[in-house]
């Protein structure tokens, strides 16, 4: 099966590589042609536009940074819609707006094309290792048809309902995860300011009810002053905004989500937008005069 992939960024470059290494013929496109060079060296084909990808492939995946990027890839003058054929399947793996993906799915259905949304969790490490969690919204038959391709990218495949539900699941996950990230930062700054050693506090919390996924990263990130992405703060800010939009759409108040957005805004204002989400702790450290770090000798 000829498979297309659009968006060869931090996540997409690993996901598309795993599709290629699983034995599928792959056609790729990105706004930056140089990003595709390693894939082309491994045997992938290049397409000059999303329309060309759709014309060449029956199944097309995309992994893009914003809903606006997805909209342009689908509806642009040289977009996927211009190249779609009856029976095609389009799978958007971006963290996207559920309402946008549902509109795309309705428009595609009129052309005989099936749309799935399949956002992922697991970060760049999960993408590189093929261990992503993938949340798939849309037609179950189409999901089963591409299951082998999905399994090249992820170990945990969850069908979750109609198109758009994949992104509802992803936004809820990120709302919870980013809230844990913010409160972990605040708690550790408070603990260190109050006289605790970071390692002692981590040993306690990681074995108690305060344990969470974000905290698991601290020994390799915050404690060592390493804040490279990972999951960029700018992307986290986009995701929390989408989650808050979803809450507004369904009249669900999300005050904790609003507080998380303020933390991310503060980090972006401090020039940390391209750092990993753990870096939300840095403005708080600066304001309180403490650093949540291990001694240098423990870093070696």
Q: Which residues are catalytic?
A: 170
Please name which of 149, 142, 161, 164 lies closest in space to residue 96, comparing C-alpha atoms: 164
Cα(166)–Cα(116) distance, rounded to whole angstroms? 8
Q: Bridge-partner residues for 284, per DSSP?
A: none
Angstrom CA distances, 73 to 41, 148, 164, stand at: 25, 25, 17
Phi/psi of residue 210, nearest 5 degrees? -85, 0
Q: Are strands 120-121 and 132-137 parallel, antiparallel or unpaired?
A: antiparallel
Cα(84)–Cα(184) distance, rounded to whole angstroms? 46
Both structure tokens of 149: 């391709």
Both structure tokens of 294: 């291990």
């Amino acid at each position: 099966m000829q498979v297309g992939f659009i968006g060869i960024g931090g996540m997409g470059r690993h996901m598309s590589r795993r599709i290629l290494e699983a034995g599928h013929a792959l056609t790729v496109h990105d706004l930056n042609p140089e990003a595709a060079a390693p894939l082309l060296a491994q045997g992938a084909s290049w397409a000059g536009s999303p329309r060309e990808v759709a014309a060449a492939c029956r199944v097309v995946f995309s992994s893009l940074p914003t809903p606006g990027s997805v909209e342009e890839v689908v509806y642009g003058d040289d977009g996927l819609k211009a190249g779609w054929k009856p029976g095609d399947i389009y799978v958007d793996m971006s963290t996207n707006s559920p309402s946008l993906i549902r509109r795309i799915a309705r428009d595609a259905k009129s052309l005989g094309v099936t749309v799935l949304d399949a956002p992922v969790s697991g970060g760049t490490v999960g993408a590189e290792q093929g261990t992503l969690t993938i949340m798939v919204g849309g037609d179950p038959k189409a999901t089963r048809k591409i299951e082998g391709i999905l399994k090249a990218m992820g170990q945990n495949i969850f069908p979750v309902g109609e198109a758009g539900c994949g992104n509802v699941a992803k936004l809820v996950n990120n709302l919870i995860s980013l809230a844990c990230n913010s409160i972990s930062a605040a708690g550790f700054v408070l603990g260190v300011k109050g006289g605790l050693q970071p390692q002692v506090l981590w040993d306690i919390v990681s074995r108690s009810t305060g344990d969470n996924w974000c905290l698991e990263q601290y020994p390799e990130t915050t404690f060592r002053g390493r804040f490279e992405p990972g999951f960029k703060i700018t992307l986290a800010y986009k995701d929390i905004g989408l989650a808050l939009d979803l809450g507004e759409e369904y009249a669900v108040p999300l005050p904790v989500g609003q507080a998380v957005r303020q933390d991310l805004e503060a980090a972006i204002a401090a020039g940390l937008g391209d750092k990993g989400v753990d870096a939300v702790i840095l403005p708080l450290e600066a304001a309180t005069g403490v650093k949540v770090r291990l001694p240098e000798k423990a870093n070696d």
